[in-house]
Amino acid sequence: MFRKLKRRLVLLYGITSSIILTTIILGVYIINSRQSQEQNMALFQKNVEQIVEKFRSEDVINNTWLVRMQEDNHLYVYIEDNGKKLTKYNLNNNLPDSEKLIGKIKKLAIEEGINLDRKPLYSTLEKTHVYRVSLSNVKAYYGMAALIPKNTGWLNVMVISCDNQGSSILLKQMFLYAFIDFIGVAALFLISSLYIGKVIKPLEEGQKKQVAFVAAASHELRTPLTVIKAGLSSIREDITKADNFLPHIEGECDRMTRLISDLLLLASSDANTWSLLKEPVEMDTLLIEIYDMICTCYNKNNYQLTLDLPEEELHIIHGDRERIKQIFTILIDNAMSHTSSRGIIALRAYNQKNYVVVEVEDHGPGICNEDKKQIFERFYRGDGSRNDKKHFGLGLSIAKELIELHEGSIFIKDTPGGGATFVLRLPWQRNQ
C-alpha cells in the first residue's frame, strides 16, 4: 500500500514541480531572447545612424571608413545616388537574396510613408524604423533605410545585417536551458523520492506498530478468555467443581481488567487525549508517601525497600501528582518482579541543575544490552518474565509515555554488583 502511495506521490510531486520548473526556465529563455533581440536591434540602429550621419555631414564618402564599418559590424550597405546604384561601396556582395531584401525594405518603407525611389519633398532627413525581415531561407535580417537630402540631390541608403549570430546564440542558449531543465527535472524526481520516502516512513512504521500492537493485545486477551471458557465448560459439566475453577476465572477476569485499563491508557496517549492535571508536586512528600504505601500494602515478600533523600529539599515539580505516583509504582513493581524475596530495592532522589532525578535500584538478574534497547516497547518482556502472567509488558511503556508527557526522560544503567537501575529525570526549572 505504502509503495503505491509513494510512487503516486513522487509522480504527482515530480510532474507538478517539473511543470513549474519548465515554465520558469521557458519564461527566462523568452525574456532573455527578447532582451538579446532588443540589444542586437539597438546596436544595429546605432551603427546605421552613425553611417547616415556620416553621409549627411560629408559631401564625399570616406571609402576606408565605410569598409571598416561594414567589416567590423557585419553590415551590408546599399547606396543609391539620385536613384542610381553606387556599386563601388557595396562591399558585401556575397549577401544572398540582397535584391529581394532591398525590395522588401523599400516596400516596408513605403508603408511607413517614405518612398526611397523619389526625391525627398522636404530638405529634412527621413529615416525608417528598424525592420526584422526574413525570406524563404528562414534566415532573419535587420534592415533600416534613410533618405538623405544633399546639395546635388539625394542619397538613398539601406543597411542590412544578418541576425544569424544572434539566432545562433539563442539556439545555443535554448539547448543550454533544455539541458538545465532536464537536470532539474531529474533532480526534482530524485529529491521528491527521497523526501516522500522520509515522510511516509513514519506512517509505515506506525502501521507496523499498530498491527503488532493489535496482534499482541489479541494474544494477551485470548489467554485469559481461554482459561475462563475452559473453567465455565468444566463447571457446566460438573457443578461440584465450581469451587475449584471460580478462583481461576476471577483471577483471569482481574487480569483482563488490568490489561484493558493499560490498553485504554496507551490508546489515549496515541490519540493525544491523555490529559494531565498539572499542579505543584512536592517530591519529598510524594516519595515518602509511595515508600510508606509500598512497605505497608505491597511488600508481601518482605523486600528491603530503602529511601534515600538529600538533606536539602527536592525541587517542586509542576505535574500530575497521581500520574507521577503511577510512574514510581510501575518502576518499583517492576523491580520487585525481578528481585528475590527479602531482596534489596533502593529508592533515591537528588537535585540536578534543571531536573529532579529519581533512581529505582534493584539487585536482580539485571537487563542485557539487547533487552535495554526494547524494554520500553509495548508488550515486550525480557526472557525472565515471558511466563509471568501478572505482567503484560505494558507497564514500562506506560511509564515512559507519562514521563515524556512531563517533558522528562528515563534510561537504564547496570547496578554495581548486579541488577538494574532505572534513572528518571523530571524538569522543574521551566515549570516554576
* pLDDT above 90 as % of the chain: 10
pLDDT digits (tens, 9 = 90+) for 111-136: 988 888 887 777 788 899 999 887 76
Please state the rounded mean pLDDT for residues 153-157.
Answer: 86
In eight-state DSSP terms, residue 412 is E
Cell of 32: 532573455
pLDDT digits (tens, 9 = 90+) for 161-209: 876 555 556 667 777 778 887 887 888 778 777 877 777 777 776 666 6
Model confidence at 218: pLDDT above 60: yes
> Which secondary structure element, helix H or strand E, spans residue 50, and what is its range?
helix 2-57
Cα–Cα distances in Å, from 376 out to 153, 330, 331, 419? 105, 12, 12, 17
Q: Residue 147 CB: number of other CB atoms within 10 A?
A: 25
Q: Quick one: fold of 278-431?
A: Heat Shock Protein 90 (3.30.565)
CATH 3.30.450 domain span(s) along the chain:
2-169
Lowest mean pLDDT among 2-6, 26-30, 154-158, 292-296: 2-6
Q: Smallest Cα–Cα separation from 345: which of 357, 329, 369?
A: 329
pLDDT for position 389: 46
Contact 398, 266 (CB under 8 A): yes
Q: Which of 5-19, 56-70, 81-95, 344-358 has the highest mean pLDDT?
A: 344-358
pLDDT tier for residue 145 given thresholds of 50, 70 and 90:
very high
Cα–Cα distance, 51 to 153 (Å, whole number) = 18
Q: Which CATH class is domain 2-169?
A: alpha beta
CATH 3.30.565.10 domain span(s) along the chain:
278-431
Model confidence at 290: pLDDT above 70: yes
- Going across the sheet that includes 409-414, the strands are 304-308, 344-351, 355-362, 420-427, 409-414
pLDDT digits (tens, 9 = 90+) for 364-404: 888 888 777 778 876 665 544 444 445 556 778 888 888 88
Whose cell is 513493581? That residue is 333
* Arithmetic mean of pLDDT over the chain: 79
Cell of 420: 538494574
Spacing of C-alpha 277 from chain mean position:
36
Whose cell is 533487552? That residue is 371
pLDDT tier for residue 46 given thresholds of 50, 70 and 90:
very high
Considering only the C-alpha atoms of the chain, give the largest distance between any 2 of them, rounded to a whole number of Å.
Answer: 144
Q: Smallest Cα–Cα separation from 277: which of 314, 333, 315, 326?
A: 326
pLDDT for position 21: 79
Q: Smallest Cα–Cα separation from 158: which of 262, 61, 86, 251?
A: 86
* pLDDT above 70 as % of the chain: 80
pLDDT digits (tens, 9 = 90+) for 237-286: 888 777 777 877 777 787 677 667 766 766 666 666 667 788 899 999 99
Cα–Cα distance, 152 to 319 (Å, whole number) = 107
pLDDT digits (tens, 9 = 90+) for 323-370: 888 888 888 888 888 787 778 889 999 998 889 999 999 988 888 887
Cα–Cα distance, 172 to 27 (Å, whole number) = 16
Cα–Cα distance, 165 to 171 (Å, whole number) = 10
